[in-house]
Amino acid sequence: GGGAAAPSASLNFNSIAGSKIDAVSVPEGYTAQVLAPWGQPINAMAEAWKDDGTNDAVDQNNSMGMHHDGLHFFPLNDAGTDGLLAVNHEYIDQNALHQNGSDRDDAGIRSSVDQVRKEIAAHGVSVIRIQLQEDGQWMMVESDPLNRRYTGATVMDISGPLANSSLLVTPFSPDGSQARGTLNNCGNGYTPWGTYLTCEENWPGYFINLGTTTAEQDRIGLDTSGTARYGWETLAGHADERVDEFSRFNVTPSGASAMDDYRNEANGHGYIVEIDPYTANSRAVKRTALGRFRHEGCTFGTLEVGKPIVFYSGHDSRFEYMYKFVSTAVWDAADAEASDRLAMGDKYMDEGTLYVAKFDADGVGHWLPLTLDGATTDGGTLGDHFDSLAAIILNTAGAADLVGATQMDRPEWCAVDPITGSVYLTLTNNTRRDETTGTNPANPRLNNKFGHVIRWDEGEAATDFTWDIFVFGSPADGDEATNLSGLSEFNQFASPDGLAFDNRGILWIQTDNGADEVTSYTNDQMLAVVPSAIKDADGNADTINSENQGELRRFFVGPNGCEVTGFTISPDYTTMFVSIQHPGNWPYSNNAAEETPVGMDLRPRASVVAIRKADGGELGV
């Protein structure tokens, strides 16, 4: 790693027990507050959230979306008590969203225009102004001029290699310069110049092609029969349909050209999307140079003046790949203060080289360029298979197949250690890795139910790195072949997903659990560890093992049914914000730690949780 040596933080809380209740758990002396749950109005256009599901599409378009995920805090004052919170809304729970669930019939056909509009509006991103009150509680400033929603229908600009490409031509955007909506916004990132990055993950499921598919659609896995995930396209041609409002989700070629149908509509999805939270009414920009796949997150590497900026992004699907983008422009620290932030995105995110990772044995790795002259494993180049960089980007995963990238166990979030510069990546699980698929050194477990966290250090050349596995998920009572990191009751986990470093060098690991061996003990959780403080006898960075596993501590447990995801912390480290996604029956009150009375069924609401110390001090230390 290239980071300058700096003192690491020391954790100063006791690992908490696992829990399985309708409330969050935090260490003694800490508090947790519900903030900005699904359905809370962000402006006066929406009626207050109703607990019977009767809010309409207009309300939803002007309220917090559903299924909160990645998020980031952008301060508006030096004290960090006033700021903007950008929050992703990944997908929806139709049973919670609508009064009596979805109107889908047995064939998957929808009938209610308002229901589908409400679903589209519940996706995307919210930007809201929040302020810390004297009583230590955060409040949304309702109707602040900076509050806004970006939804599955919001018009966005396309930039980078696919901008103005024939591949992006639709009747809505004849010059291929725009796309409508962002969908399945999972993990997030942010930039050194103060913008938010939202990542389009499982977007293929929203589209359907019932006719001739392209090689790229076959590779990414677009649906080809029945209806798409929520069946929005089944309202095509409805009397109340606005211009191709629902038709566009059906990408079946039906006319003579791309101007006659929506064959290219899905090509406007699958990107990293940049939002300037500080500028009201600013348009979001899809940065196509960073690749097109199921983006989990987007994290920039260690900044060095005069050097390119690196962005990391994983493709979360079984046997998919890990990518990095290296900018052509080199970092100028003055750009952190630029007033036209999206122009900085143009500068650093539209031109550069996209690479995919190959993890070799013995801890060596290589970044393989996805360019026209990038070498393929058959001795040729990607130029033998693609006629433009835009075509490579459109089918990023197909290009990565050709260069021989390493098939991973579902790359989720990535985080960069501010002390050492090492890059950490969660590999959440892969139960389909079997004798037929085989293992590889970076994904060494068959039937990887519990996942692992891998890390690497970049080499001198942009193409070289060295790697090792930091920790393996496992139940505490796993056998020797399973509990490879010697985890105990106090830190057993499975399915690592959300991952973030704060600037003190604390790594926060969140889980999205699917393994009964651990869920029988605890709900999804967040653990903390300071990797830079964990050294072996020779003073080198160590991995988690039975000797040092006590350094990995459970800090937070979510309510029943949820996933804990998304992380951001105030500049003075006194408030941490995380998302609770798809809770089963929560929250009962605005105190996130107050348990729902047994037997009471509620319409669950995904929410941000603001975690603080009761005395207002720094978290974790």
Q: Which of 530, 523, 532 is nearest to 506 (CA)?
A: 530
Q: Residue 149: count other Cβ atoms within 10 Å of its Cβ.
A: 24
Distance CA 31, CA 129 (A): 21
Measured from the CB atom, the residue of 118 and 582 that comes closer to ligand FEO is 582
Q: Residue 194: count other Cβ atoms within 10 Å of its Cβ.
A: 20
Q: Is 458 in the site for Ca ion (CB under 5 A)?
A: no
**Contact present, 594 and 549 (Cβ < 8 Å):** no
Least distance from Ca ion to the Cβ atom of residue 507, Å: 16
Least distance from ligand FEO to the Cβ atom of residue 24, Å: 20
Distance CA 489, CA 574 (A): 28
Least distance from Ca ion to the Cβ atom of residue 338, Å: 31
**Contact present, 181 and 286 (Cβ < 8 Å):** no
Least distance from Ca ion to the Cβ atom of residue 417, Å: 20
Choosing among ligand FEO, Ca ion, none, which partner's interface includes residue 245 (Cβ < 5 to 8 Å by kind)? none
Measured from the CB atom, the residue of 331 and 413 that comes closer to Ca ion is 413
Least distance from Ca ion to the Cβ atom of residue 512, Å: 4
Choosing among ligand FEO, Ca ion, none, which partner's interface includes residue 244 (Cβ < 5 to 8 Å by kind)? none
Least distance from Ca ion to the Cβ atom of residue 510, Å: 8
- Residues with Cβ within 8 Å of residue 24, at least 6 apart in sequence: 32, 556, 557, 558, 559, 580, 592, 593, 609
**What DSSP string describes 305-358?**
TTSEEEEEEEB-SEEE-EEEEEEEEEP-GGGGG-S-HHHHHHHHHSSEEEEEEE
Alpha-carbon Rg for the chain, nearest whole angstrom, is 23
Choosing among ligand FEO, Ca ion, none, which partner's interface includes residue 409 (Cβ < 5 to 8 Å by kind)? none
Longest dimension (CA), the chain: 72
Measured from the CB atom, the residue of 497 and 542 that comes closer to Ca ion is 497
The distance from CA 418 to its chain's CA centroid, rounded to whole angstroms, is 20
Q: Is 497 in the site for Ca ion (CB under 5 A)?
A: yes
Least distance from ligand FEO to the Cβ atom of residue 409, Å: 12
Measured from the CB atom, the residue of 392 and 509 that comes closer to ligand FEO is 509
Distance CA 491, CA 549 (A): 8
Choosing among ligand FEO, Ca ion, none, which partner's interface includes residue 350 (Cβ < 5 to 8 Å by kind)? none
Choosing among ligand FEO, Ca ion, none, which partner's interface includes residue 517 (Cβ < 5 to 8 Å by kind)? none
Measured from the CB atom, the residue of 200 and 497 that comes closer to Ca ion is 497
Of 207-215, 266-274, 474-482, 510-518, the window that binds Ca ion (rule: CB under 5 A) is 510-518
Measured from the CB atom, the residue of 23 and 298 that comes closer to ligand FEO is 298
| β-strand pairing of 68-75 with 82-89 | antiparallel
Least distance from ligand FEO to the Cβ atom of residue 90, Å: 5
Choosing among ligand FEO, Ca ion, none, which partner's interface includes residue 502 (Cβ < 5 to 8 Å by kind)? none
Among 119, 274, 457, 512, binds Ca ion (CB under 5 A): 512
Choosing among ligand FEO, Ca ion, none, which partner's interface includes residue 320 (Cβ < 5 to 8 Å by kind)? none
- Residues with Cβ within 8 Å of residue 480, at least 6 apart in sequence: none
Q: Which two tokens stand for residue 488?
A: 């105990």
Measured from the CB atom, the residue of 90 and 244 that comes closer to ligand FEO is 90
Measured from the CB atom, the residue of 359 and 413 that comes closer to ligand FEO is 413
Choosing among ligand FEO, Ca ion, none, which partner's interface includes residue 201 (Cβ < 5 to 8 Å by kind)? ligand FEO
Measured from the CB atom, the residue of 335 and 412 that comes closer to ligand FEO is 412
3-state secondary structure (DSSP) of residue 139: strand
Measured from the CB atom, the residue of 274 and 524 that comes closer to Ca ion is 524
Q: CA distances (Å), 202 to each of 100, 315, 327, 429, 444, in order? A: 26, 10, 26, 17, 26
Q: Is 457 in the site for Ca ion (CB under 5 A)?
A: no
Residues between 566 and 595 that touch Ca ion (CB under 5 A): none
**Contact present, 618 and 108 (Cβ < 8 Å):** no
Number of residues that bind Ca ion (CB under 5 A): 2
Q: Which two tokens stand for residue 261?
A: 């149908």
In degrees rounded to 5, what are phi and psi of residue 356?
-125, 150
Least distance from ligand FEO to the Cβ atom of residue 34, Å: 22
Distance CA 300, CA 446 (A): 31
Measured from the CB atom, the residue of 549 and 579 that comes closer to Ca ion is 579
Query: Which residues are near ligand FEO by CB under 6 A?
Result: 90, 186, 201, 296, 316, 412, 497
Of 105-113, 205-213, 497-505, 599-607, the window that binds Ca ion (rule: CB under 5 A) is 497-505
Least distance from Ca ion to the Cβ atom of residue 412, Å: 5
Measured from the CB atom, the residue of 335 and 512 that comes closer to Ca ion is 512
**Contact present, 9 and 620 (Cβ < 8 Å):** yes
Least distance from ligand FEO to the Cβ atom of residue 519, Å: 17
Least distance from Ca ion to the Cβ atom of residue 296, Å: 6
Least distance from ligand FEO to the Cβ atom of residue 607, Å: 17
Choosing among ligand FEO, Ca ion, none, which partner's interface includes residue 417 (Cβ < 5 to 8 Å by kind)? none
Measured from the CB atom, the residue of 245 and 524 that comes closer to ligand FEO is 524
Choosing among Ca ion, ligand FEO, none, which partner's interface includes residue 457 (Cβ < 5 to 8 Å by kind)? none
Residue type, 338: A
**What DSSP string describes 364-388?**
EEEEEE-STTPBPTTSSBGGGT-SS
Angle, CA of 384, 388 and 391, to the nearest 5°: 95
Q: CA distances (Å), 1 to each of 325, 462, 501, in order? A: 18, 13, 15
The distance from CA 128 to its chain's CA centroid, rounded to whole angstroms, is 19
Residues between 210 and 269 that touch Ca ion (CB under 5 A): none
Binding site for Ca ion (CB under 5 A): 497, 512
